Amino acid sequence: MMLAFPQLESGAMAQMPFERAVRFRSRRNVARDGSTVEIGDPDYEERSWQLAFRELSDAEWLALESLFATVEGRLQTFTFLEPGANLLGWSEKLTQTPWSVAGTALDGQADSLGGARGSRLSAGSNAGQALAAPSSYRYAASAWLRTTGGGAKLRVSDNGAQVLEVDVDSTGQWKRYAVHYAASSATDQVKLELVAGAADLEIHGPQLEAQAYASPYKVSSAQGGVFANVRFDQDALTDEASGPGRHDTRVRLIWTPSQT
């Protein structure tokens, strides 16, 4: 099984508030005459998170402490599912690489807000995106969908036998559908699928979150909310226990893909 930052018993990945930062780097050349040329460094990006936890249960604290010991503090890496983020990549471009399409998919179609940021699957087609994430966690999948034919579905699975899905109404009206996934599977994959039935399926804002219930839609681009090769950015994990089964701690995480 993969090493992954543990999910809380509530299904959340963090407690509010938490801090998140994104940093980029530029290079500057200073000539003898004092003029400068500055360009961005496309190979460097850094993301960091500061998470404060209060009153963790014994089980929650032990899961966090165990991960810290297993990766030996800063030394080794693990997978982190960003709290509240859309885990999917390219949520508005089903024709991009993270998605696998069987049949025909079109982007730039009508969306639920009257724009053209939606996608369309032709009748009998399906699109899916499999993520390298623990299938034993709780997930919320959601999407705005509409169709005029039966058999359309929004589905979440462990890319195997554990499947949860919801049927899409054939009224031809936009509606946001949600699937709340919680399974006993122990695989390292979670997959969201959009299935068109007897008619074309129109799609806007597919989203998968590592939490118990769906939140407002967040558009995603190439990097979704699954971050592999994250490290602890601290040498010690402190337990400020305030009583039995009440553990307080602070965690700093860092992700620098160019240095992994």
> What is the pTM assigned to this prediction?
0.91
Question: Residue 228: is its pLDDT beyond 80?
Answer: yes
- Enclosing H/E stretch for 69: helix 58-70
User: Distance (Å, rounded) from C-alpha 14 to C-alpha 6?
Assistant: 9
The token pair at 16 is 């509010």
Peptide bond into 17 cis (omega under 30): yes
Handedness of CA 32, 37, 43, 48 (dihedral sign): positive
Closest CA to 78 of 19, 132, 151, 29: 132
Q: Work out the pLDDT band at 260, boundaries 50, 70, 90.
A: low
Assign 259 a pLDDT band (cuts: 50, 70, 90).
Answer: low
Asked if the model's pLDDT at residue 43 lies above 80, the reply is no
Tokens 């009583």 map to which residue? Answer: 243
CA-to-CA separations, 8 to 15, 53, 62, 81, 199, in angstroms, rounded:
9, 10, 11, 12, 40
Nearest to 67 by CA among 230, 241, 246: 230
Q: Is the pLDDT of residue 88 over 80?
A: yes
Residue with tokens 């620098």: 256
CA gap 109, 130 in Å, rounded:
23
Judge whether residue 258 has pLDDT over 80: no
Lowest-pLDDT range of 36-50, 53-67, 77-91: 36-50
Domains and CATH numbers, the chain: 18-82+226-259 (no CATH), 100-209 (2.60.120.260)
